[in-house]
Structure 1
Amino acid sequence: ADKEALSLLNGLEFNPVQRNKGIDAILVEQFDDAPVLVRVQKSQESIDEAASLLAKAMKTKKSKKSFLIQTQLNTSLFNSPPKYEGMILLDSPALQIKRANKALHSDEFSAALQIRR
């Protein structure tokens, strides 16, 4: 797991995972007596690829709950995020700001602001 990915987990108790492309960390607190896995989307990777790798790791580790942290805007052909049972998709703080900034500059938002004035 790289330092940048793990920095997104500050404030959580976790064990970093090395040499496993599907997992960056395992939380200390378990869910239903099974490990909770965490994966951070890499910069050159689609959210679909990241989710697929994490889903594979969930099967291997018999995990019932995992978190995938999305760091890039979705460039998938189908704009809906991947869905796997037990996997929760979260936006990184940087991605939340990118999305909010994009919304601020959208025509719909600008029009809504002008209507209120």
Structure 2
Amino acid sequence: MLPLQADLVGGGPLALVVTFVLAALFYAVTLHLAALWVLGDEPHQRAVAVSPVPAAISMFFEAAGPVVVAVLAFGATLVAVRYVYKLTTKGAALLTTFHFAIAVILGLALRNLLSA
């Protein structure tokens, strides 16, 4: 079995499902914000279709370290964005870069708010 974050705290399968859903929701919101900024008016269903990719990679490869997770998540999200949004590689790279920038900014802001 892969070492997942919920195994460390003993949360069980429900904790894994809730963590995955919340991560996918977070990535869907940040990807939709990036798509609105980069591409203009885009349906949110596309962001929802892509968001499980970085969420799953974040959970499954968490033990490998943040650099490995970031590289794998960026590459897999780039492929998913290119396929779902039907963009060129250059356009998908731009959207994925903005998505990760927004996710980092919003993630750090939420971390600071919740840790106070």
Specify the TM-score bucket, using the shorter chain as the normaliser.
0.3 to 0.5
- Greater strand share, 1 or 2? 1
- Greater helix share, 1 or 2? 2
So what's the TM-score if we normalise by structure 1?
A: 0.33
Greater C-alpha Rg: 1
